[in-house]
């Protein structure tokens, strides 16, 4: 079945459309979206297995020959990301049953989630640079809906800022693609890679590489383009925040990794050195923010920025270990960020505040929540055998192999600050004197608690069972280190 | 249009609108079907149709127009989306890549030998989405107090 790799995208897309018809029927909305997400996740898993077994899958729309049509490519990298994002979305939807509120559910909350998943998974799977832009817009439009849905004053203010930043970066994206098209004359990603190799990356292509770094850096929040992220992400309700934190910046990170390993590989001394410097600066900026705040949401939001820096540091090494580490860390970070936002969300719901200084003593009433939070915090910092360990280990190993000793040690040191920032939440919220709490219903608490706990358990399994995941990561890193694998798989049967 | 203290008489506007509506509407249908060989297509056709409806809204008011055209534009958008995606997804069932279009020549009773192409169905989806979205925007802003 040649179209099978499209199923995870198509199922969510269709569901989003059908859900528009059930605007007022919340039960239907919930059950349809849950069922279709489960189906899409299973499909994504099967696609992942198929790619592992038979190699890279690709389909070109409309039966056109390869560089002329839009190609969708499922390789090790994209299938892993698609599967993870659908899995996270399943638990996030479950979590939002108890937390998002009826008013929002009536106003296209679930279709918004479905369309954002279409955009995210499409951007992961596409093999055409302009099609990637279109999928970026799909996910951004849906994120505009989700960020403003509810119409609180704070949401309205932050959504204007978010819109402005993203419109500017989208315009820059179009301009950059126009430059690239005028130089190489093609939009298919495999073909662009071939053409750039033919002309051996002259100065103008390096300029375009830097422009792409600016464009995707605005989406992925790297230093100094992360200024919009902390305030924008604090505005929407928790399930939306978790969805954004787990998926949206990672699309930008994926796009940087893809373009910097497939297109711009002939002048590494300049472009990847630049990427490395920005990655380190991003980590510093994130660490400062994560320590500076007493607001639980802000602490985790700044941890997104740190993780983006770590992943890009791994990607900048351009060796097998560094890239495999970046993939390990990317998937780990998606899972753990969703879990942490959900945990922090529960803390906010039961204390009624996001200010750490007003909390305290939750351990007596909610012991299991406390210990699961501690596990998630240790996982984020990368304490073995939890999930963050293997990725960071490989990234640092790659850094040493590439001769970046000082910066690699800095990455290790930054883990301490990450640990400090999340342990502060544990100390303030769970230890100490009893702070303020609000009464929430047992049923609501359970609706929030179970998906969160399952996600934390998944992150533990991901860390402990790294052996099972390694073959997939190997395949992903193999595609990233050697662009010719990708090009050959896509261009087979292409016209000369 | 709200009733002012001074009674206004929109007779000329309303009478012209009734006629011009059909001219614009049929032109939009023409543009829609011409899209394959000449400039035009679903997007412009949809915009023209919605501009015809907007003319009615200007000449009469939102309530009257809703009585004439009792359409839920939100559902219209969703129907258009589903039609477009279903056209694109149909080839999956016959083992062709997604988005493959089919065409053939048919002898239709009135038109004679005509080529029919599934791209027109996709365009119809686009048409419905454009009309639905434009009218939703205009209705929502128009009803806002």
Report whether A377 contacts A293 (CB < 8 A). Answer: no
Centroid of chain to Cα A462:
17
Closest CA to A324 of A121, A220, A475: A475
Q: Which two tokens mark A185?
A: 């004359």
d(CA B135, CA B53): 8
Q: CA–CA separation, B104 vs B59, rounded Å?
A: 43
Model ipTM over 0.85:
yes
Interchain CB distance below 8 Å, A23 and B74: yes
Residues 6+ positions from A236 with CB-CB distance below 8 Å: A146, A147, A149, A150, A155, A244
Radius of gyration of chain A (CA): 22
Find residues 6-25 of chain A whose CB sits inside 8 Å of chain B. Answer: 6, 10, 13-14, 17-18, 20-21, 23
Q: Is A386 helix (H, G, I), strand (E, B) or coil?
A: coil
Task: Say how far apart CA A123 and CA A117 lie, in whole Å.
Answer: 10
Chain A partners of B82 at a C-beta cutoff of 8 Å?
A: 14, 17-18
Task: Name the residue in chain A with its Cα closest to that of B89.
Answer: A10
The one-character DSSP state at A74 is E
Determine the distance in angstroms separating the CA of B65 from the nearest CA of chain A, rounded to an integer.
23
Which residues make Cβ contacts (< 8 Å) with residue A468, sequence separation at least 6? Answer: none
Inter-residue contact A274 to A231 (CB < 8 Å): no
Closest alpha carbon within chain B to A72 = B98
Element (H, E) at A28: helix A26-54
Closest-CA residue of chain A to B95:
A1
Extract the tokens encoding B29: 């249908």
Write phi, then psi, for A171 (nearest 5 degrees): -60, -40
pTM of the full structure: 0.94
In this structure, chain A runs to a length of 496
CB contact under 8 A, A21 and B75: yes
| Contact call for A63 and B75, based on CB within 8 A | no
Backbone angles phi, psi at A291, to 5 degrees: -85, -25
Instruction: Report the candidate in A217, A95, A92, A218 with the shortest Cα–Cα distance to residue A162.
Output: A218
Contact by Cβ (8 Å): A51, A89: no
DSSP B97: P
Pick among B92, B128, B132 to test the A interface (most A CBs inside 10 A): B92
Give the chain B residue whose CA is nearest to the CA of A18. Answer: B78
Q: In sequence order, what E strands does chain B have?
A: 103-108, 112-117
For chain A, 496 residues long, give each residue's pLDDT as a single digit of tens. 788 999 999 999 999 999 999 888 899 999 999 999 999 999 999 999 999 999 899 999 988 888 899 999 999 999 999 999 999 999 999 999 988 888 888 889 999 999 999 999 999 999 999 999 999 999 999 999 999 998 889 999 999 999 999 999 999 999 999 999 999 999 999 999 999 999 988 999 999 999 999 999 999 999 889 999 999 999 999 999 999 999 999 999 999 999 999 999 988 889 999 999 999 999 999 999 999 999 999 999 999 999 999 999 999 999 999 999 999 999 999 999 999 999 999 999 988 888 888 888 888 888 999 999 999 999 999 998 898 899 999 999 999 999 999 999 999 999 999 999 999 999 988 888 887 788 788 888 888 999 999 999 999 999 999 899 999 999 999 999 999 999 999 987 554 4
């Amino acid at each position: 079945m040649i179209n099978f790799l499209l199923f995870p995208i198509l199922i969510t897309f269709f569901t989003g459309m059908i859900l528009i018809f059930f605007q007022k029927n919340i039960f239907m909305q919930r059950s349809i979206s849950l069922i279709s997400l489960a189906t899409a996740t299973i499909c994504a898993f099967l696609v992942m297995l198929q790619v592992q077994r038979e190699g890279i899958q690709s389909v070109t729309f409309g039966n056109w020959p390869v560089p002329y049509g839009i190609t969708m490519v499922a390789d090790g990298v994209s299938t892993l990301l698609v599967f993870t994002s659908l899995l996270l979305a399943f638990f996030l939807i479950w979590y939002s049953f108890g937390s998002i509120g009826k008013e929002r559910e009536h106003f296209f909350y679930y279709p918004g989630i479905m369309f954002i998943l279409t955009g995210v998974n499409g951007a992961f799977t596409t093999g055409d640079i302009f099609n990637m832009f279109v999928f970026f817009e799909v996910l951004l439009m849906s994120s505009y809906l989700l960020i403003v849905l509810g119409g609180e004053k704070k949401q309205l203010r932050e959504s204007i800022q978010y819109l402005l930043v993203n419109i500017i970066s989208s315009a820059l994206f179009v301009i950059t693609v126009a430059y690239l098209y005028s130089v190489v004359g093609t939009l298919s990603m495999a073909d662009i890679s071939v053409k750039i190799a033919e002309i051996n990356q002259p100065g103008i292509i390096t300029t375009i590489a830097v422009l792409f770094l600016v464009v995707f850096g605005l989406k992925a929040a790297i230093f100094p383009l992360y200024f919009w992220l902390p305030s924008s992400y604090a505005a929407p309700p928790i399930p939306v925040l978790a969805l954004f934190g787990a998926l949206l910046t990672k699309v930008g990170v994926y796009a940087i990794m893809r373009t910097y390993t497939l297109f711009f590989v002939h002048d590494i001394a300049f472009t990847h050195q630049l990427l490395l410097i920005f990655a380190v600066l991003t980590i510093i900026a994130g660490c400062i923010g994560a320590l500076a705040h007493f607001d639980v949401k802000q602490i985790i939001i700044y941890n997104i920025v740190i993780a983006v820096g770590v992943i890009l540091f791994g990607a900048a090494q351009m060796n097998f270990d560094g890239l495999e580490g970046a993939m390990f860390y990317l998937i780990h970070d998606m899972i753990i960020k969703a879990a942490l936002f959900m945990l922090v969300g529960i803390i906010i719901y039961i204390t009624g505040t996001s200010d750490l200084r007003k909390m305290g003593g939750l351990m007596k009433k909610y012991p299991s929540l406390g210990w699961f939070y501690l596990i998630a915090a240790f996982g984020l910092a990368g304490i073995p055998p939890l999930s963050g360990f293997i990725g960071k280990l490989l990234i640092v190993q790659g850094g040493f192999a590439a001769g970046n000793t000082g910066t690699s040690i800095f990455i290790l040191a930054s883990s301490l600050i990450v640990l400090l920032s999340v342990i502060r939440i544990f100390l303030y919220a769970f230890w100490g004197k009893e702070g303020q709490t609000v009464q929430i219903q047992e049923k609501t608490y359970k609706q929030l608690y179970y998906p969160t706990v399952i996600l934390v358990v998944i992150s533990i399994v991901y860390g402990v069972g790294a052996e099972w995941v390694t073959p997939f990561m190997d395949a992903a890193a193999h595609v990233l280190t050697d662009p010719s694998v990708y090009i050959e798989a896509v261009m087979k049967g292409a016209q000369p | 249009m709200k009733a002012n203290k001074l009674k206004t008489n929109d007779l000329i506007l309303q009478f012209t609108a009734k006629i011009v509506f059909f001219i614009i509407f049929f032109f939009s249908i023409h543009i829609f079907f011409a899209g394959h060989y000449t400039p035009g297509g679903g997007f412009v056709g949809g915009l023209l149709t919605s501009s015809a409806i907007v003319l009615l809204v200007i000449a009469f008011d939102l309530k009257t127009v809703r009585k004439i055209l009792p359409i839920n534009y939100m559902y219209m958008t969703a129907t258009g989306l589903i039609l477009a995606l279903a056209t694109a997804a149909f080839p999956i069932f016959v083992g062709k890549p997604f988005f493959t279009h089919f065409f053939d020549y048919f002898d239709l009773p009135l038109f004679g030998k005509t080529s029919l192409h599934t791209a027109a169905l996709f365009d119809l989806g686009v048409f419905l989405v454009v009309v639905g979205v434009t009218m939703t925007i205009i209705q929502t802003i128009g009803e806002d107090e």
